[in-house]
Amino acid sequence: MNKYLKFFLMIATSTLLMFFMMYFNLFSFSHFFFSQTRLFMALMMGAAMAIIMLIFMWKMYSNKKANVVILCGSILLFAGSLFMVRSQTAVDDVAWMKAMIPHHSIAILTSDRANLTDPEVKELAKKILEAQEAEIDEMKELIEKLEEQ
């Protein structure tokens, strides 16, 4: 197999894996919703990985023009993904809620499973857990309503 094709497949596979790994800390699988922000974060990580790996293995990849194209493309992908994450320009009402549900799910997981001993901290965690669960239910209802329109 061409080593550049292998490099691309390695970066693409790792990027896809990183995207799904960002969902491993959900409290419930029912909180899994596609998140544009997580997609752009995975693309940023994949681009950064491509840059780092190519620089470290520069001598292994002898086509200097291809290396420059990969580096420039990776830098552009990183910058574009960073812009999309920071600006949230592609995020509408439904996309925002679909990104927030997994985010809230993480708060539920940590509030539910942390080894808390202080009564005030435990009470705070309980309040967070209840609020996040209520907000997830509300967002699911709104998503359903908006997607029917």
pTM, two decimals, is: 0.88
**Cα 1 to Cα 93: distance, rounded to the nearest angstrom:** 44
> How far does CA 47 lie from the centroid of its chain?
14
Expressed as residue numbers, the domain containing 101 is 3-144
pLDDT at position 132 is 97
pLDDT at position 56 is 96
**Structural tokens at position 88:** 């949230």
Residues of the chain with pLDDT under 70: 1
pLDDT at position 13 is 98
**Cα 44 to Cα 128: distance, rounded to the nearest angstrom:** 30
Name the domain count of the chain.
Answer: 1
Phi, psi of 60 (to 5 degrees): -70, -30
pLDDT at position 37 is 94
Q: Is 149 part of a structural domain of the chain?
A: no
pLDDT at position 84 is 97
Q: Is 79 part of a structural domain of the chain?
A: yes
pLDDT at position 41 is 97
CA angle at residue 102 from 99 to 104, to 5 degrees? 105
pLDDT at position 61 is 94
